[in-house]
């Protein structure tokens, strides 16, 4: 695992977590955003145990106790991918504040200079249609309502923002870049910052 002492200087890279319910498009956006940032992508689904995948495929929601080692494994993978000046983008539901706090405790300094959450949200009908259309994933529409029930949107004291998923993915990535530029203009660059709204936490 990389550690800042390996280079003798602080890490300038940040970690971005793409969060939201199943079917919101976290994986697709995380991959596209990582490419745009020339960073690394960590897919949270890869770190579920076989037992957890089987339960979710059967429509059974995971308990908090079952999620904790999964969150820790995701954080460990992100830390392993950390390098100076290379952002890491994670696709992870991170539905509850406690889940995000657990990630925050493992993904802040000195490993990453900053951590931001991007909450993908949209009409239930749109998310349900996306879930119904996919047949290559262990999570289906049967888990949507249980995830919506426990979802805790970002609080004002959490670094991050909310994005609407209805536009094409390239437009969502563009908007994410604008909002990230507002949160951390030195990392994203002044070019992407043009047109970003004057707010720290909000929706689009």
Q: Tell me how far apart the alpha carbons of residues 121 and 125 are, in angstroms, rounded to a whole number.
A: 12
Residue 175 backbone class (left: φ over 0; alpha: ψ -120 to 50; beta: rest): alpha
Banded pLDDT at 196 (limits 50, 70, 90) = very low
pLDDT at residue 176 is higher than 90: yes
Model confidence at 185, pLDDT cuts 50, 70, 90, reads low
Q: Categorize the per-residue pLDDT at 110 as very low, low, confident or very high, splitting at 50, 70 and 90.
A: confident
Q: What is the pTM of this model?
A: 0.84
Query: Over the stretch 30-41, which tens digit does the pLDDT of each residue have?
Result: 999 999 999 999
Distance separating alpha carbons of residues 11 and 29, to the nearest angstrom: 24
Helix, strand, or coil here: 43?
strand
Rounded Cα distance between 131 and 140, Å, is 6
Please write the tens of the pLDDT for every residue from 56-108. Answer: 777 778 888 989 999 999 999 999 999 888 999 999 999 999 999 999 999 98
Mean pLDDT is lowest, of 9-13, 73-77, 177-181, for: 9-13
Tokens of 80: 């392993």
DSSP 8: T
């Amino acid at each position: 695992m990389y550690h800042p002492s390996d280079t003798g200087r602080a890490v300038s890279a940040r970690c971005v977590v793409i969060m939201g319910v199943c079917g919101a498009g976290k994986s697709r956006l995380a991959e596209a955003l990582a490419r745009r940032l020339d960073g690394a992508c960590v897919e949270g689904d890869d770190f579920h145990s076989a037992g957890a995948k089987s339960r979710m495929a059967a429509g059974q929601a995971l308990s908090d106790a079952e999620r904790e080692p999964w969150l820790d494994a995701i954080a460990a993978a992100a830390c392993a991918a950390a390098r100076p000046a290379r952002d890491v983008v994670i696709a992870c539901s991170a539905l509850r504040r406690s889940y995000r706090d657990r990630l925050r405790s493992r993904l802040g300094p000195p490993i990453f200079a900053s951590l931001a959450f991007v909450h993908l949200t949209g009409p239930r009908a749109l998310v349900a249609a996306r879930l119904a259309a996919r047949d290559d994933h262990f999570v289906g529409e049967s888990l949507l309502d249980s995830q919506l029930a426990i979802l805790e949107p970002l609080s004002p004291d959490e670094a991050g923002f909310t994005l609407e998923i209805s536009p094409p993915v390239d437009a969502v990535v563009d908007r994410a870049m604008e909002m990230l530029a507002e949160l951390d203009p030195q990392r994203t660059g002044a070019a992407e910052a043009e047109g970003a709204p004057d707010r720290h936490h909000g929706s689009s």
